Amino acid sequence: MGGKDHNTKAEPGFIKRRNRIDGQWSARLIEMLESPAWRVLSLSAHKIIDRVSIELAHHGGNDNGRLPITKEQFVEYGLTPRLVVPAIREAEALGFLRVTEHGRGGNATYRKPNLFLLTCVNSKSGPAPTHDWRKIKTIEQAEAIAAAARAAKNPNAVAIGSRNRNKNRVHKVYLKPGTQSVPENANFPGTQSVPTGSGHKVYPLSISWVGSPKGRAPRAIAPIYTCKRLNFDVLLESLSLDDPAQVGLLCN
C-alpha cells in the first residue's frame, strides 16, 4: 500500500485525508498571527480573544456580535479581575473584537454582560469579518495604541469606584486633648499628681524600692493629713503597701 490509507471506495487513487480535527476548532489567518497588532498583544488580551472565540463555538458559530460574556467568566478562564477591563480595551483598540453593547453591574434584575463581536472570523449568522487589525502597519504604532487603550479608564467608573472605597473605609477615632477618662474615684486622696511648675511638691503615687535586693528599703512617702472616713485597707492596697507603719496617717 506504500503507507497510504486508501478508501474502500472503488475510485482508483482516492486517498483518505489524515489531517482531520476530532473536535471544535478555531481558524486564524497566518497573516493575522504575523501582524504587528497580534505580536504586541498582552497575555490578558490574548485570553480575552480566546474566551470570545470559545463563546462563539459554544453558540455553534452563530450570534457573532451578540456573544454575552461576564467578568466572572473571564476570571474563571484565568484572567486577573483587575486586568479584565484594560485587556478588553486593548483587544478592541488593536482591531480583533468590538463590544457591540456595554453591560452594567447591579443586582440580578438590572445587571447584564457585555456583548462581543470578533472581527477576525467568519460566522454562520453575522457580519462578514472586517479584519480591523490590518489598519495597524508597524510595531511602534501597535505598541502606542495598546498602551493608550490600557490606560484609558472610564471617568464614570473611576468616580464610582472611588465613592465605594470611601464608603467602605474604616475611620480611625482619635481622642482630642482633655477627653481622657477620669478615675472612678476622683476624690480619692493621693491618686492625682499636682501640676508641675506650680510651686507645689509632687509626691510619688507608689512605693519604689532602692538599694540592693537583700537590704532594700522603701522610699519615704509624704504623710497624708486628711483621710476622714477613709477605708484604711483600700488606701494600703492603692499605694501597694504591706505595712501600715509605712504611712503616717492621722485618721479619726
Helices (H) and strands (E) in the chain, counts: 8, 5
**Separation of CA 115 from chain center:** 26
pLDDT score at 250: 43
Cβ proximity of 48 and 97 under 8 Å: yes
**pTM reported for the whole predicted model:** 0.58
Cβ proximity of 68 and 114 under 8 Å: yes
Ordered DSSP codes for 35-86: SHHHHT--HHHHHHHHHHHHHHHHTTTB-TT-EEE-HHHHHHTT--GGGHHH
142 φ, ψ (degrees, to nearest 5): -65, -40
Mind listing the pLDDT tens digit for each residue in 169-184? 655 556 666 655 555 5
Percent of the chain with pLDDT over 70: 55
- Cβ within 8 Å of residue 101, ≥6 positions away: 114, 115
Which grid cell sits at 90? 486593548
Mind listing the pLDDT tens digit for each residue in 32-51? 999 999 999 999 999 999 99
What value does the mean pLDDT take over residues 179-201?
A: 54
Q: Which is more confident, 119 or 105? A: 119
CA distances from 39 to 49, 98, 186 (A): 14, 19, 78
d(CA 92, CA 41): 11
pLDDT score at 107: 79
